Amino acid sequence: MLNFDWLSGISQETAKLIFFSLYLLIGVLVLLLPDEYVYEGIPKENRHWWNNLKLWSWTVLAILAVVYYQF
Amino acid sequence: MLAGIDYFIVIAYIVGMLLLGLYFKKFVNNSEDYFLGGKSLPFWAIGMSIVVSDIGALDFVGVSGQAYRYGVAVGNFDWVGSVPAMLLAAFIFIPYFWRGGMYTIPEYLGRRYNKSVRTIASATWILFFALDLGVLFWASAVLLNVLMGWPIWISILSTAGVVGLYTYFGGITAVIMTDVVQMIIMFIGGFALVFLSLDAVGGWENLVEKVNTMGPEYRSHFDIIQPVDTTSPFPWTGILFGLTFVMANAYMIGNQSIVQRCLTAKNEWHAKASMIFGSALKMFIPILVLFPGLMAVVVHPDLADGDQALPMMIKSILPPGLVGLMFAAFFAGLMSSVDSLLNSTATLFTKDIYEPFIKKDGDDKHYLKVGRITTLVLLIIGVATAPISSDFPGIYVAIQTFMSYFQGPLFAILILGIFWKRTTQWGGLSALVIGIGFAIFLNVFKTEFFTIEDPFLYISWWSFLLGFIINVVVSLMTKKHTALELEGLVFSARILTKSKT
């Protein structure tokens, strides 16, 4: 049990899909954050799309997904 | 051995770092400057500092060695082992710590639980960091010994002298700003080695083909997802449960040397952005540290010790000049890790041990002085304990083993502490003590319980789970905290909709 042998029936391909699902879930949760919270610390008049940390997060998650797709 | 130009590059680098670090001495006027950089630093500097402190010399030598033995699966540590945890830290934990004006993670645990939890967590980190220092010094000695033939103790002492001096005077600002330069040098040196090594093995496709035909033990070298029944330390279940759910979070959220950097940010946006920017940079780390190990499988197929893969690649692939740059890159990794540990441990000791237990009412200058003296004492401990590392077969695995003792229980109390208001001080204390004890028990009897080579990922998961359950059960049986006691310490949807709590 401690060795997770009860999960040995799951193939490596399925396991990879589990990781992709996790990235997607995180991406969705990030999208649900209010913009006000994401920009907190920047005055309203100085807020631009490139300061949007949701965009940063999605970019990083996309790169991560590409790496796992490649290997 | 290094050529004349290599020596020049290395010496210029070391002197440059020393001068740059000492320049920031003038910005240190009080303990907040020394420990939190006066809360004035930008996201890009912090993000680069997080990455370079995390990668360090250990990854250059240890991960290359692991990649030589097990393949790309070791890259999980910088990919899935960083990004999800850093996003969680950026959006949930860091804003709490930053808004609370905290210096240390145990300080949060002390406010959320009690003084004992704070002390145990702090003492454990101090112990880990002190051991870590020894491992880092030993890693430097391994490379210096192969490359330059320097005696072990000469290399250890010279590293300690340079890093100790600028950390002592410049505090965390010197640490972070030297980290920025160190990261740039590491990336230049690392990419130079990767491109030249790739050329030496005839390109990527040729590398894959050659490694795959070297025998059955190399067939899964390019599979990032390893099956459950693998004998390597990286089955996908360990990567998902042990690394992604526990160790990565514990490291990015509960590690003083990482979180302390975010607390130096000039505002909350910079604090959050530093983590996300750092996670983007982390994506490149496996290219620098893992690929040379993979290529060494083809170039040097008969190495007895995987940790020799990187030094041998540097020796056989790089021309004069670039050897010096690569050595400077290695030294950069080492220095950045050592300076981080020194400053963070000094912060932990001063804020969590000295201030509450030894001298409560000292003035600010006194605590600044204590922080500096602690830095010196730690240097001595790190140098003295360096030879212990030679008793472990893989340097990187050794450090993970140390961490797995308490990462799980620590994360269990952190996550419940911030997300569940019913968690009590006795729940947190029991979870921490029993969880650490259980992790040590599993590690001592690992051959009885586990089938994989080094089960540190599984140990961290099971000790987390036990710590989590114990925290819940004991909390439900003990008196709950009042709303006033929990104010600003437990996650609430209000933090997302209100600008400041």
pLDDT of residue B272: 96
Structure tokens at B2: 């290094």
In B265-404, alpha helices (H): 268-282, 285-289, 291-299, 309-317, 322-348, 364-385, 395-404
pLDDT of residue B392: 59
Residues of B in contact with A26 (CB under 8 A): 84, 87
| Contact at CB, B268 and A41, closer than 8 angstroms | yes
**Per the structure, how many domains does chain B have?**
1
| Contact at CB, B236 and A42, closer than 8 angstroms | no
Contacts of A66 (CB under 8 A, 6+ apart): none
| Contact at CB, B462 and A5, closer than 8 angstroms | no
The pTM of this model reads 0.88
With respect to residue B116, please indicate whether it lies within any of the assigned structural domains. Answer: yes
Instruction: Say how far apart CA B368 and CA B338 lie, in whole Å.
Output: 20
Query: Chain A closest CA to B381's CA: distance in Å?
Result: 36
With respect to residue B466, please indicate whether it lies within any of the assigned structural domains. Answer: no
State the angle between helix axes of B395-404 and B407-419 in degrees (0 to 180), rounded to the nearest 10.
Answer: 50
With respect to residue A17, please indicate whether it lies within any of the assigned structural domains. Answer: yes
| Contact at CB, B227 and A53, closer than 8 angstroms | no
Structure tokens at B207: 């590398």
Closest listed residue to residue B59, CA positions, set B344, B402, B394: B394
Instruction: Say how far apart CA A21 and CA A14 lie, in whole Å.
Output: 11
Query: Chain B closest CA to A62's CA: distance in Å?
Result: 11
pLDDT of residue A4: 85
With respect to residue B210, please indicate whether it lies within any of the assigned structural domains. Answer: yes
Structure tokens at B372: 């500096």
Instruction: Say how far apart CA B208 and CA B205 lie, in whole Å.
Output: 5
For residue A60, the enclosing domain spans: 11-32+48-71
The partner residue sitting opposite A5, judged by closest CB among B80, B228, B497, is B228
With respect to residue B9, please indicate whether it lies within any of the assigned structural domains. Answer: yes
Q: Is A8 on the interface with B (CB under 8 A)?
A: yes
Instruction: Say how far apart CA B414 and CA B94 lie, in whole Å.
Output: 12
| Contact at CB, A56 and B241, closer than 8 angstroms | no
Q: Give the CATH number, domain containing residue B27.
A: 1.20.1730.10
With respect to residue A42, please indicate whether it lies within any of the assigned structural domains. Answer: no
Instruction: Say how far apart CA B434 and CA B471 lie, in whole Å.
Output: 10
Structure tokens at B184: 């740039």
With respect to residue A53, please indicate whether it lies within any of the assigned structural domains. Answer: yes
Closest listed residue to residue B407, CA positions, set B468, B352, B448, B353: B468
Instruction: Say how far apart CA B403 and CA B468 lie, in whole Å.
Output: 18
Helices then strands, counting H and E runs in chain B, come out as 25, 0
Q: Is the dihedral of CA B196, B200, B202, B204 positive or negative?
A: negative
Query: Chain B closest CA to A41's CA: distance in Å?
Result: 5
| Contact at CB, A42 and B225, closer than 8 angstroms | no
Residues of A in contact with B236 (CB under 8 A): 12, 15, 19
Structure tokens at A46: 């100085």
Structure tokens at B208: 């894959």
Residues of B in contact with A30 (CB under 8 A): 87, 91
Instruction: Say how far apart CA B449 and CA B456 lie, in whole Å.
Output: 12
For residue B87, the enclosing domain spans: 4-394
Provide the 3-class DSSP secondary structure of residue B102.
coil
Instruction: Say how far apart CA B182 and CA B334 lie, in whole Å.
Output: 10
Structure tokens at B130: 């002190």
**Per the structure, how many domains does chain A have?**
1
Contacts of B346 (CB under 8 A, 6+ apart): B35, B371, B372, B374, B375, B378
Structure tokens at A68: 């796992």
Structure tokens at B40: 């004035």
Rg, chain B, Cα only = 22
Residues of B in contact with A56 (CB under 8 A): 273, 276-277, 280
The answer to whether the complex's ipTM is over 0.90 is: yes
pLDDT digit string (tens) for chain B, length 501 residues: 567 788 888 888 888 888 988 899 888 999 999 999 999 999 999 999 999 887 766 677 778 888 888 888 888 988 998 999 999 999 999 998 888 888 999 998 898 888 888 998 898 888 878 777 887 788 777 766 766 677 888 888 887 888 888 898 889 999 999 999 988 988 888 888 899 989 988 888 888 888 888 877 788 888 888 888 887 778 899 899 989 999 899 889 888 889 999 999 999 999 999 999 999 999 988 888 888 888 988 888 888 777 788 878 888 888 888 888 877 877 777 788 888 889 999 999 999 999 999 998 889 899 999 999 999 999 888 888 887 766 655 554 566 566 667 888 989 999 999 899 999 999 999 999 999 999 989 988 888 888 877 788 889 999 999 999 999 999 999 998 888 888 878 887 666 665 544
With respect to residue A37, please indicate whether it lies within any of the assigned structural domains. Answer: no
Instruction: Say how far apart CA B179 and CA B337 lie, in whole Å.
Output: 9
Query: Chain B closest CA to A52's CA: distance in Å?
Result: 9
With respect to residue A4, please indicate whether it lies within any of the assigned structural domains. Answer: no
The partner residue sitting opposite A60, judged by closest CB among B95, B276, B455, is B276
Would you give the DSSP letter of residue B318? P
Higher-pLDDT residue of A33, B130: A33
Instruction: Say how far apart CA B402 and CA B392 lie, in whole Å.
Output: 11
Provide the 3-class DSSP secondary structure of residue B362.
coil
Query: Chain B closest CA to A1's CA: distance in Å?
Result: 9
Indicate the residue type of B199: D
- Find the closest chain A residue to B283 by CA distance: A64
Say if CB B341 and CB B172 are below 8 A apart.
Answer: no
